[in-house]
Each structure stands twice: as structure tokens, then as C-alpha cells.
């Protein structure tokens, strides 16, 4: 029989046809029947090319989760969304058009942002499709759509009514570059070289001088106290006295506080509003009057006297100079200071008192610990990231932002008495331009209102994703079937934001955990283990890689190279060599495509042996798939396919299959077993490499797609795997012997078959052309 497959290598171009077939037949449509499996897919932010190759690998694996569930017989809801809220597009737009957001007409600015997002999004969707994602593209959602934003606002209104939201004026993390308050979760820390200045404070009515070391001398004007450790005998006689702030020439009291470390600097610390979070705590505890020294524009305020109007950094330089000129500096040290910076804009955080909206979270911590402990984490160790974060929560979540491209806070204030009013839930509101939906102030009866101008922190949107995909508040029937979702796949760097905030919000709104499992992936790093960044030039763009080698190659690389939860290295060369496995699979199939599919009731020893090994692979794969760890099935299948099936079994039964001197029964058993093994392998590989397996499946075994099939089950054959070692060793011995004797592999040779392999003798003889004797 002519082989059905003619080409000698898998051509990734075929992926396009298959993709079209999937789309035309709506192969992955979700029907809420039977056992439902819901994935709370992370909506990617379309930040433009190159997309991070680690992210592409991540999505490939999320698709494997979806396909695994489908092949386990579940109805899978695999939503596709695009995250479009937030800072990056605003900054991109400012740069692209050389404008400043706060100086641009709001409606005009939003339009520019939306246009930019549309372009970037189209490209992103195309990459996701090309990767072979079996998601619900026909209904993909955007987090800036009217519907999504209405949901964010509705949930806000619900929480407001539950009394979980309040307004407070308190010192807050402020990013002066983007001009907005940010939450603790959005801060990162960097070691930045800075000067530690040892300043001389004169003690009043004494000729003594107190040395105070600080990295923030520009805040001298906001100094309201000096603290020393009560057990520090060096300062005992200064306690209770006043010190004169250098340059500023104002008096402050010297107090005791245990937080002053004896080892740091001179042991005396100046308390200013606000150098860091510790200052905030001290101001509260010691009931000090705050002085706002830094304004929203990142410049010193008028209280800084001669330094007013200078940027913080300039003011620092200038005041150090002045201190030195007046002989008020003992010394200056250069140190690396761990500085809080904004994750997004990289600006150093200033702590400035601002009036913001807060969502209560402190009182939910214990409840969330309890819910968190019930969520199954893959891998389990990453649960610790959540638990550590819960331990460190000290303040409520500031949710308002002074930005434009986000969901508007749906509030109107009475023009007369400033009483805030919230509208009816269910609609999307834009208070900065919409007329007030409230006609009369509930407090004073006035009829004129002013809309709130601020927007929400984008995590307010993202944290309701499981509610959005299950149509919370829209379709009660659908919601019941799809909420809570099954699994949240995401990367480990956003556990303290996206994962945490989602549990918090869903608990507050639904009293339930949003999903029963969380699947946490590591970062993609470069081939030397360094973080990829545009400035280092070690970024790999996944798009050309996928185009060159095909999505299946990329996916198989991702599965076989990434151990769940750990960081993984990316190199184009590694991806390229992965392609060889697909070639191997292709050629095995090409060989088998020359043999008709037959049924056979009887199998022979070699067949029993390989089926027994196959059974082992099936069981190992099941374990890996159950844990959504695709490293396990991909490596186990590759090793079996290459090193046992192709190298030994196929060679052993080739003679039988071509039927030179074998009975029909023997021949059929071989062909039956060959097809049985290959079809099983294709099914096991289908979630990992959906294109090539579907093509081969439809060419060899069925007129329907492989992706509607179920996983093969373990058959519990008699265990023949003990023969693996003797068989492979014997074959190796023969090959070596022939080599030694300079024989070709098809040449005849005289060699004794070991006793334990006697039952395989006929196949082995044919395989090696052994002389009987």
C-alpha cells in the first residue's frame, strides 16, 4: 500500500489550514452542559511588539490546560479578554503625540488612547490565534468596554452600600510622574546610590551638638521631632530638650522611641512628614502636626522657603551644599539605599497626604487566609507568596487614581454641601462629562451636582474577571453553572495584586473563593538566566519564532522546557531543536501510513512488551495532566517515542510488518500494535501540539478532529517492562558488533540470543539478520 503521507517533514504552513478548519467548524464552542470547567484567563495587556516570549509560552500552556480538561470530558469555558485599562497606554500616547495628559482635553485624550489600543490589540489577538489557543475568540472581551466598566462600577456600588468603601485624607504613596496615588502592591524596591548626610543639630541652651544621619535632608523643613532610643546612654541628657534644625533654624523636641536604632548613624533620627512609612507611623503615634513639604508636581512647597519650587532631587543637592557652606555637615557617605519606586513609571515614591477612596481590606485578611488555604495551588509552594503578602497588609486599599484611561468612579457630589451620591447600579457612568443622574441631594435638597473626575485603580477592574466571564448580574442561569470558576492561571509576579485582589473582591461580593485552583507560572528569562529587558537587548520576540518553526514546535518547547512554577530559560536555538521531535513523529506516521489499519485478537511478545511500556507512559501522562504540569507528559512521550518505540520496537517488527517469513496473524498483530501505539501517542500529545496531531489523526484514523476525542485510559496489561533493558542492551550489542566488524546494518551476523529473550527470537532474528546457529 502506498503511504498516505508523502512529504518527509512536517511543514508548519499546514497549521494555517488547520486553524481555518477549527474556526469554520467552531470546534471549541462552549456549551454549559455536563461537568463545566471554567478558566479565569488572564487578559493580556496589548503593550506592543515584541510580546514577551515568556508570556507567549504562558498562554500556550493555559491552552494546554483547556485542552486537557476538554479531553477529560469536560465542557470548557476558555474566555479570551484584552486588558485595556491603565497607565501604559496613557504614557504611550503622551510620548507618541508629545502631549501631557493633564493638559489635554479628556475626551480627545481618551480617543487617542483607544485608537492606539485597537492597533496593538489586533496584533495580539492574531498572535494568540496563531499559537493555537482554543479560546472563545468570537466573544472576546475588553476591560474598557461599556459592559465591563459597568460591572466594575456596579460592584463598587454594591461594596459602597455594604459600607466597605470610605474616603480618607491620609499620607499615601504618590507617584509624581504619573500624578497619582498608588497602592503598596504597585511599589517595587531598588537599591539606588544616594548620599547619607550627617548633619549637626545644636541642642538648645547647651553647647552640645547632636549628629543626625539622613538620606532626605531636603525634608528638614518638615521635621517635627527627633527620636533617640530610650536605652541609648549617649543621648540620655538630651531627652526632653529642644534641638535647632540646621539651615531652617526651627526648634524641635527630642523624644524617645524604640524604633530608633542605636547602630544606625548616630542613633538619633529625625522624623519628617514624610520620608518613609515609618515616619507616617511615628507622626500618628506621637501626634505630630504634619508639614507638607512636597507637592503633587514633585516639587518642594512654599514651606521649604528658599527651596520652594525645586524638584526633590535638586532641593536635596542644594540643601547639602548650603549645609556644607555653613559648616553644618560632619560627613557625607555614599550608600546604596533601598528606595521605593513606582512599578510602572519607575519614579521614586513620595508620601503625600491626599484624600482618596479606600476599600476595606484589613478586616478581610483572616477570612482570605482561610479561603486561600482551601485553594489548590500548582505548584503548592507558591501559596506561600499569597500568605506572605497577607501577613504584610497594614493599610486599606486606596482605589482612586488621578488618571484618565480607566473606569470612572461613579459618584456625584452635591454642589452645595458636597455630599457624595452614587447612582443606580447596572449602567456605565462617566461622571466627568455625564449629567448627574441624581436630581436632589439627599442631605440638603440642592439640585446641582459635580461629577467625580477620578478613575479606579485598574486592579479594581481586573479583580472581577471571574465575575465578568460568568456573567455575574446578567445571566443568573449561566452564573450558577460557571461560578466559582475552576482555575486561575497566572504568573507569579502578580500574586499579591491580581490573585489577592480577586479573592478579596469576590469574597466581599459573593462570599466565596472565585476558583478552586490556582496555577502559577514562573518568568521567562534569557538563555543565561538573566531577566529579559529591552535595554539589555536580550528580548526574544515570539512572533518570528512561531512563524519560522510553527506553533506546535513553540508549544512543545514550552511544555518540555518549563517546569511548573519555576523560572525558565528561553533560547531560539533550543526551540529550533525541538522541531526535530515533530519531524520524528511525522516520519513514524509516514511509515505507518503505508499499513492498513487492522484488528487483531492476538499479540506477540514484542507487542506485549511495547504495549506494556505504552501503558506506563499513559499513566505518567495522566499524572502530569492532572497536575497541569506539561513537562511530565511531554518529556515522557518524547523519550518513549524516540528511544523505545522508534529505535527498538519499530525496528524489531519491521520484518513482521512487511511479512517476509511471518504468518498473517503475526503480521496483523504487528501492524495493529504499531497503530495502537501511534494513535495513543497522538491522543496524549493533542493538548500539547494540537496542529500536527490533528493533521495526522485526520489523515490516518478519522474524518473528525482529534480535539473531540477523550484521553486514552490505562489498560493494565501484564507488566512486560522488565524486558526493556535486556532488549535495548541486546540490540545495542548487535549494532556495536557489526560496527566492530565493519558490517552494514543489513548484513548478516552470527550472535546468540540470550535465554531471557528467547520469546522475542523471531523478531530479533529478522531485525538484525542473525544467522541461526
Partner RNA sequence: GGGUUCAUAGUCCAGUUGGUUAUGACGUCGCCCUUACACGGCGAAGAUCCAGGGUUCGAAUCCCUGUGGACCCA
Query: Rule CB under 7 A: is residue 507 a binding residue for RNA?
Result: no
3-class DSSP state for residue 83? Answer: coil
Site mask for RNA (CB under 7 A), range 511-530, x = bound: ----------------x-x-
Give the separation between CA 732 and CA 285, rounded to whole angstroms. 79
The stretch near RNA (CB under 7 A) out of 97-105, 192-200, 313-321, 383-391 is 383-391
CA distance 498 to 492: 10
Crossing angle of helices 53-71 and 542-549, in 10° steps, is: 50
Q: What minimum distance in Å lies between the beta carbon of 358 and RNA?
A: 17
Q: Can residue 338 be called a binding residue for RNA (CB under 7 A)?
A: yes
Q: Is the separation of the CB atoms in 350 and 174 below 8 Å?
A: yes
Residue among 51, 49, 78, 79 at smallest CA distance from 65: 78
SS3 730: helix
> Residue 588 interacts with RNA (CB under 7 A)?
yes
- For residues 729 and 647, is the Cβ–Cβ distance under 8 A? no
Among 563, 659, 724, 765, binds RNA (CB under 7 A): 563
The verdict on 661 binding RNA (CB under 7 A) reads: no
- Rule CB under 7 A: say whether 643 interacts with RNA: yes
392 binds RNA (CB under 7 A): yes
CB 77 within 8 A of CB 136: yes
Size of the site for RNA (CB under 7 A): 56
Which range touches RNA (CB under 7 A), out of 61-69, 109-117, 198-206, 639-647?
A: 639-647
Q: With binding defined as CB under 7 A, does residue 346 bind RNA? A: no
Q: Which of 583, 619, 659, 759 binds RNA (CB under 7 A)?
A: 583
Query: Of 299, 430, 474, 569, which lies in the binding site for RNA, with binding defined by CB under 7 A?
Result: 569
> Is 25 near RNA (CB under 7 A)?
no
Asked if residue 567 binds RNA (CB under 7 A), the reply is yes
CB 514 within 8 A of CB 488: yes
Smallest separation (angstroms) from RNA to the CB of 346:
14
- The single residue among 20, 111, 234, 531 that binds RNA, judged by CB under 7 A, is 531
In the complex, the smallest distance separating the C-beta of residue 8 from RNA, rounded to whole angstroms, is 5
3, 43 Cβ separation under 8 angstroms: no
Q: Over 404-464, what HEC string results?
A: CCCCECCCEEECCCCCEECCCCCCCCCCCCCCCCCCCCCCCCCCCEEECCCEECHHHHHCC
Among positions 325, 326, 373, 388, the unique one binding RNA when judged by CB under 7 A: 388
Cα separation values, 510 from 377, 466, 480, 598, 650, Å: 21, 11, 12, 56, 57
The span from the CA of 487 to the CA of 170, in Å, is 37
Q: Which is nearer to RNA, 79 or 655 (CB)?
A: 655
Residue 330 binds RNA, judged by CB under 7 A: no
651 binds RNA (CB under 7 A): yes
Among 745, 748, 758, 771, binds RNA (CB under 7 A): 745
559 binds RNA, rule: CB under 7 A = no
Report CA-CA distances (Å) from 15 to 152, 408, 553: 38, 43, 11
3-state SS assignment for residue 334: strand
Residue 297 in contact with RNA, rule: CB under 7 A = no
Q: How crowded is residue 577: how many other Cβ atoms within 10 Å of its Cβ?
A: 13
What residues line the site for RNA (CB under 7 A)? 8-9, 184, 188-189, 277, 338, 381, 384-385, 388-389, 391-392, 492-493, 496, 527, 529, 531, 561, 563, 566-567, 569, 573-574, 577, 579-580, 583-584, 587-588, 590-591, 635, 638-639, 642-643, 646-647, 650-651, 654-655, 658, 660, 732, 735-736, 739, 744-746
Amino acid at each position: 500500500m502506498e503511504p498516505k503521507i508523502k512529504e518527509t517533514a512536517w511543514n508548519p504552513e499546514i497549521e494555517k489550514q488547520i486553524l481555518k478548519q477549527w474556526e469554520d467548524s467552531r470546534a471549541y464552542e462552549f456549551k454549559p452542559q455536563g461537568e463545566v470547567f471554567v478558566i479565569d484567563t488572564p487578559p493580556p495587556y496589548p503593550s506592543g511588539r515584541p510580546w514577551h516570549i515568556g508570556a507567549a509560552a504562558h498562554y500556550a500552556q493555559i491552552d494546554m490546560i483547556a485542552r486537557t480538561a476538554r479531553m477529560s470530558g469536560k465542557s470548557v469555558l476558555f474566555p479570551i479578554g484584552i486588558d485595556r485599562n491603565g497607565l501604559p497606554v496613557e504614557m504611550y500616547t503622551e510620548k507618541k503625540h508629545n502631549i501631557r495628559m493633564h493638559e489635554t482635553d479628556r475626551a480627545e485624550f481618551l480617543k487617542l488612547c483607544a485608537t492606539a489600543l485597537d492597533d496593538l490589540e489586533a496584533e495580539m489577538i492574531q498572535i494568540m490565534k496563531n499559537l493555537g489557543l482554543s479560546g472563545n475568540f468570537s466573544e472576546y472581551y475588553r476591560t474598557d468596554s461599556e459592559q465591563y466598566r459597568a460591572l466594575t462600577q456596579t460592584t463598587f456600588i454594591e461594596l459602597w452600600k455594604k459600607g466597605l468603601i470610605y474616603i480618607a485624607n491620609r499620607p499615601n504613596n504618590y507617584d509624581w510622574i504619573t500624578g497619582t496615588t498608588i497602592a503598596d502592591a504597585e511599589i517595587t524596591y531598588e537599591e539606588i546610590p544616594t548620599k547619607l548626610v550627617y548633619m549637626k543639630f545644636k541642642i538648645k541652651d547647651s553647647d552640645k551638638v547632636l549628629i543626625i544621619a539622613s538620606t532626605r535632608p531636603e525634608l528638614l523643613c518638615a521635621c517635627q521631632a527627633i527620636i533617640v532610643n530610650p536605652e541609648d546612654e549617649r543621648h540620655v541628657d538630651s531627652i526632653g530638650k529642644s534641638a535647632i534644625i540646621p539651615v531652617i533654624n526651627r526648634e524641635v523636641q527630642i523624644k524617645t522611641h524604640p524604633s530608633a536604632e542605636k547602630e544606625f548613624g548616630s542613633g538619633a533620627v529625625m522624623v519628617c512628614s514624610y520620608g518613609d512609612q515609618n515616619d507616617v507611623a511615628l507622626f500618628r503615634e506621637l501626634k505630630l502636626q504634619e508639614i507638607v513639604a512636597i507637592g503633587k508636581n514633585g516639587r518642594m512647597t512654599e514651606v521649604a522657603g528658599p527651596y520652594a519650587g525645586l524638584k526633590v532631587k535638586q532641593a536635596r543637592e542644594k540643601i547639602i551644599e548650603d549645609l556644607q557652606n555653613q559648616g553644618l555637615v560632619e560627613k557625607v557617605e555614599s550608600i546604596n539605599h533601598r528606595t521605593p519606586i513606582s512599578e510602572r513609571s519607575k519614579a521614586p515614591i513620595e508620601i503625600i497626604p491626599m484624600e482618596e477612596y479606600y476599600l476595606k481590606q484589613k478586616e478581610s485578611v483572616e477570612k482570605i487566609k482561610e479561603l486561600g488555604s482551601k485553594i489548590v495551588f500548582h505548584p503548592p509552594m507558591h501559596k506561600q507568596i499569597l500568605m506572605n503578602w497577607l501577613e504584610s497588609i497594614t493599610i486599606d486599599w486606596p482605589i482612586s487614581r488621578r488618571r484618565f484611561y480607566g473606569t470612572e468612579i461613579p459618584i456625584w457630589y452635591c454642589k452645595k454641601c458636597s455630599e457624595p451620591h452614587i447612582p443606580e447600579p447596572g449602567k456605565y457612568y462617566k461622571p466627568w462629562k455625564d449629567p448627574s443622574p441624581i436630581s436632589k441631594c439627599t442631605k440638603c435638597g440642592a439640585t446641582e451636582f459635580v461629577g467625580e473626575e477620578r478613575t479606579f485603580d485598574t486592579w479594581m477592574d481586573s479583580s472581577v474577571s471571574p465575575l465578568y466571564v460568568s456573567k455575574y448580574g446578567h445571566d443568573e442561569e449561566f452564573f450558577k453553572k460557571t461560578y466559582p470558576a475552576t482555575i486561575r492561571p497566572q504568573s507569579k509576579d502578580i500574586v499579591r495584586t491580581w490573585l489577592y485582589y480577586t479573592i478579596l473582591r469576590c469574597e466581599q461580593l459573593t462570599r466565596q473563593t472565585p476558583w478552586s485552583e490556582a496555577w502559577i507560572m514562573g518568568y521567562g528569562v534569557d538563555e543565561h538566566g538573566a531577566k529579559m529587558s529591552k535595554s539589555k537587548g536580550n528580548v526574544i520576540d515570539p512572533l518570528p519564532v512561531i512563524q519560522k518553526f510553527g506553533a506546535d514546535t513553540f508549544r512543545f518547547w514550552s511544555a518540555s522546557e518549563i517546569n511548573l512554577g519555576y523560572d525558565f530559560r528561553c533560547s531560539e536555538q533550543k526551540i529550533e531543536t525541538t522541531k526535530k521531535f515533530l519531524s520524528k513523529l511525522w516520519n513514524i506516521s509516514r511509515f505507518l501510513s503505508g499499513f492498513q489499519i487492522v484488528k487483531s485478537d492476538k499479540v506477540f511478545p514484542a507487542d506485549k512488551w511495547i504495549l506494556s511500556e505504552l501503558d506506563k507512559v499513559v499513566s505518567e501522562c495522566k499524572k502530569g495532566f492532572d497536575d497541569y504540569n506539561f513537562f511530565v507528559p511531554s518529556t515522557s512521550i518524547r523519550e518513549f517515542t524516540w528511544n523505545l518505540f522508534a529505535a527498538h520496537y519499530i525496528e524489531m517488527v519491521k520484518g513482521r510488518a512487511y511479512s517476509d517469513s511471518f504468518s498473517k496473524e503475526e503480521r496483523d498483530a504487528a501492524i495493529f500494535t504499531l497503530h495502537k501505539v501511534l494513535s495513543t501517542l497522538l491522543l496524549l500529545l493533542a493538548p500539547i501540539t494540537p496542529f500536527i496531531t490533528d493533521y495526522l489523526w485526520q489523515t490516518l484514523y478519522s474524518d473528525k478532529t482529534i480535539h473531540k476525542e477523550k484521553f486514552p485510559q490505562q489498560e493494565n496489561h501484564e507488566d512486560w517492562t522488565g524486558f526493556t533493558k535486556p532488549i535495548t542492551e541486546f540490540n545495542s550489542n548487535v549494532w556495536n558488533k557489526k560496527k566492530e566488524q565493519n558490517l552494514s546494518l543489513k548484513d548478516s551476523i552470527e550472535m546468540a540470543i540470550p535465554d531471557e529473550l528467547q520469546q522475542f527470537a523471531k523478531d530479533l532474528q529478522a531485525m538484525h539478520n542473525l544467522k541461526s546457529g
